Amino acid sequence: MTQPPPAQPPTATPEPWDLVADAYETEVMPLLETFARQALRLAGLPPAISHEHNARVLDVACGTGTLALLAAHGGYHVDALDFSPRMIELLARRVSAESVSRLAPHHGDGQKLPFPDKHYAAAFSMFGLMFFPDRARGFAELRRVLVPGGRAVIASWHPLQAIRPLQVIFGALGEVMPGPGGELPLTTADACAREMAAAGFAGVDVHTIVHVDRHDSPRLLWEGIQRTMAPIALARQKLADRWTAASEHVASALARELGDGPVELPLTAWLTVGTAPA
């Protein structure tokens, strides 16, 4: 008897990312700049030269374009792709408003890139490939489109449950509704290195980068998370009127555990770097 395919997590579909796209542009992009700048540095890109392949970079699961915009403003020719129509719409709007001539937004699937082989000097996926249903395919596609010697940089989070404010939030949510999902993949250096090496990348190295996100109170942190964390935004939409009680339960738990003063969210990422062999 044929077994049905395993259910995909909600983050494997565009819907939750469309829900958070507007807040992502205003609230998350500034937070992600620290990681994007480090990723560009680790890629070891040559000086940008117009119309040369060594000036072309690819940003897969680009969101609203944190890294893509930095790279384009730095003189590189950038293709930026995401499966969320709203994310790409917002990026295209910014490209037009800022007259960014070197950045082309694309709506598409990071597991089946619509780009030629051996085309890019560097390829990035900043906290995107970690959500792919088929991560091996995502890694393989990045290797395919890189020139020999080109580097891929993949960003993923250290375990989020290790961060105290998020521990409280996930714990309180789990008391009143099914949680937003288990631990994310690619949360250890071994997992990051193993999956990139399995795709045929050479010289794989894993770096730790930290950014501390500060909020005036735990309640304001929680309000921001409801706007910007895709699984929670989707749960909020589906619960509709029942969400108010669940949200207040979380806010009460945060106040009880963390008080009402300023709160820090130490966000730690793995940046995994690999080189496409000849």
Does pLDDT of 117 surpass 90? yes
Q: Which two tokens stand for residue 6?
A: 């395993």
What integer pLDDT is reported at residue 184 of this predicted model?
86
> What pLDDT shows up at residue 4?
47
The pLDDT of residue 9 is: 78
Residue-range domains of the chain with CATH: 10-160+182-216+268-275 (3.40.50.150)
> How much is the average pLDDT of 83-110?
97
Give pLDDT tens digits for 215-253.
Answer: 999 999 999 999 999 999 999 998 999 999 999 999 999
d(CA 140, CA 8): 20
Q: Quote the pLDDT of residue 1.
A: 47
- 43 and 273 in contact (C-beta within 8 Å)? yes
pTM: 0.93
- Provide φ and ψ at 66, rounded to 5°: -55, -60
- Reference 234, options 20, 28, 46; nearest CA is 20
Instruction: Write the pLDDT tens digit of every residue in 18-42.
Output: 999 999 999 999 999 999 999 999 9
- Mean pLDDT, rounded, for 60-87: 97
pLDDT of residue 47: 77
Q: How far apart are CA 95 and CA 118, in angstroms?
A: 26
pLDDT tens-digit profile of 154-172? 999 999 989 999 999 999 9
Q: Is the pLDDT of residue 123 over 90?
A: yes
pLDDT in tens, 169-205: 999 999 988 765 567 899 999 999 999 999 999 999 9
Q: Is the pLDDT of residue 3 over 60?
A: no
Model confidence pLDDT, tens digit, residues 124-164: 999 999 999 999 999 999 999 999 999 999 999 999 989 99
**pLDDT (average), residues 53-66:** 90
**Which pLDDT does position 182 carry in this prediction?**
62
